Amino acid sequence: MLSIDSKQVKTIEKKFLDEIKNLRSLWPKEQISLEELNKGKKSILLFSDDYHIFDENETNNIIQLIPPYFWKFMKVPILLKYNRDDEGRSWYNVMGDTWQKRFVEILLRGNYTIYGIEEINPEEFIKLIKKYKSLIFVSINA
């Protein structure tokens, strides 16, 4: 039987908590509207106090795709939460308000419904991430 003393447990726990802290530092501290994006703001602040710069081709594509009357309400980066159940099924939840859900729906389907998309499957995620790598952040459901 393997025995672990309390010092080893504390060391492992500290490493785990440090890694969580490191991952959190890479999460966006802010989101910006498409209106701000169109006016030239091309980066956001992360919790690490570093800046994340959006890819210019991706931002231009979004500005062309989304109608200007939505720019004030839709924000980048898009925040998704990865989920997996006990049966191995995985999906992503769109984080944010109805406008963010409509935003993702327009990007995936070219149109939107009143409520937008709340959940996307792995195939839809791959489609999004291939086109908009710099505009999407993913969190893990813990």
pLDDT in tens, 61-91: 999 999 999 999 999 999 999 999 999 999 9
The model's pTM: 0.84
Q: What is the rounded CA–CA span in Å between residue 84 and residue 86?
A: 7
In a domain, 123, yes or no: yes
| Per-residue confidence (pLDDT) for residue 45, from 0 to 100 | 97
Predicted confidence band at 40 (pLDDT cuts at 50, 70, 90)? very high
| Per-residue confidence (pLDDT) for residue 7, from 0 to 100 | 79
Average pLDDT, the chain: 91
In a domain, 78, yes or no: yes
Predicted confidence band at 133 (pLDDT cuts at 50, 70, 90)? very high
| Per-residue confidence (pLDDT) for residue 91, from 0 to 100 | 97
Q: How many domains does the chain have?
A: 1
In a domain, 111, yes or no: yes
Q: How far is CA 71 from each of CA 47, 118, 122, rounded to the nearest angstrom?
A: 25, 20, 27
**pLDDT at residue 141 tops 70:** no
In a domain, 1, yes or no: no
Q: Domain range spanning residue 89?
A: 6-140
In a domain, 118, yes or no: yes
In a domain, 45, yes or no: yes
In a domain, 119, yes or no: yes
| Per-residue confidence (pLDDT) for residue 15, from 0 to 100 | 73
